[in-house]
Amino acid sequence: MILTSTAVAFSFSSIGLAICGFWFYKAFQTIGEQRPGGKIGVLLSVLFISISIQHGILALGGLSFSNNPEALYAILSIDYFILAAVAALSVYLAFYILLPDTSPWFATIGTFIFGVFVAGLVIATHPLPFIDNRNSINWNLPQWLDSLAYFLLLSNIGSIFAIFSKNFFHAKTQVVKFISAFISLLAFAGIINVSILFTPLLDKPTLRTQSFSVLMGVIGLLFILFFLLIPVASNWPRKGLDKRSQKHQDN
Q: What band does 133 get if pLDDT is binned at 50, 70 and 90? A: confident
Residue 27 has pLDDT above 70, yes or no: no
Would you state the pLDDT for residue 244?
44
Q: Closest Cα partner for 34 from 206, 136, 173, 229?
A: 173
- Tell me the CB-side half-sphere exposure of residue 247, using CA atoms within 13 A: 9
Domains, the chain, with CATH or none: 5-250 (1.20.1070)
Q: What b/e sequence results for 237-250 when a residue is b if at least 16 CB atoms lie within 10 Å of its CB, and e otherwise?
A: beebbeeeeeeeee
Distance CA 203, CA 196 (A): 10
User: Which pLDDT belongs to residue 203?
Assistant: 72
Q: What is the pTM of this model?
A: 0.86
Task: Give the side-chain half-sphere CA count within 13 A for 67.
Answer: 3
**Of residues 100, 90, 101, the one with CA closest to residue 183:** 90
CA 141 to chain centre: 21
